[in-house]
Amino acid sequence: MRDQTEVTERRRITWGQYDQAAAEANLRRLRRRSCLTLLGVSLAFCCFLSLLTNVAQSYLGQWLAAPPVYPGAVQTDQRIGQLCVPTLAVYCYQTFYETPDTPAQVVAFYENYRDIRFRSSLHFISENKFPFGQQQSARYCRYVLGYRSCAQISVHPLNVGSELYIQEMGGAQKMPEG
């Protein structure tokens, strides 16, 4: 076996001859490997940097905790960062929607809604709170890399139809429960 290996090696390395196809293939392989190595190191550095600045937690948490918009609801107002100033939240959105449907229909939609982010049903409770008075509310949180992202859906009746108030906040390790 040793003799056969030496013969193969001698054929492969023939001094004075240049095999251009083999050299180009070797160069392509080395370039591909160095490109993938550089890409992997860059990706690891970006992930490390985003972990230091809460970017990954806020974007992933925002996607995971964002409730779906009720079908046919019209957005009437959106406020960014006003309510969550005293907390450590990285992002905070308040969005208001109006729909011609009754609060019971809206609550039924959210309680029966399922997708990859919402495997368990939302449970609404009836409460009387500022600023809307009597309303149906559901709260839930998702944890992403140790950081909380939470949302609250409140539905209250209007003269015709109902109004939805959705508050999303997250990206902080210590956030208030309510």
Other beta carbons within 10 angstroms of residue 33's beta carbon come to 10
Question: For 104-145, how does the pLDDT look when each residue is reduced to its tens digit (9 = 90+)?
Answer: 999 999 888 887 777 677 888 888 776 667 788 888 887 776
Do the beta carbons of residue 125 and residue 140 sit within 8 Å?
no
Model confidence at 84, pLDDT cuts 50, 70, 90, reads low
Query: How far is 166 from 115, CA to CA, in rounded Å?
Result: 18
Residue range(s) occupied by CATH 3.30.530 in the chain = 55-172
Residue 58 or 132, more confident: 132
pLDDT at 55: 56
Mean per-residue pLDDT, 81-95: 72
Residue 171 or 94, more confident: 94
Question: For 136-176, how does the pLDDT look when each residue is reduced to its tens digit (9 = 90+)?
Answer: 888 888 777 667 778 888 898 888 889 998 888 876 655 55
pTM of the entire predicted model:
0.61
CATH assignment, 55-172 = 3.30.530
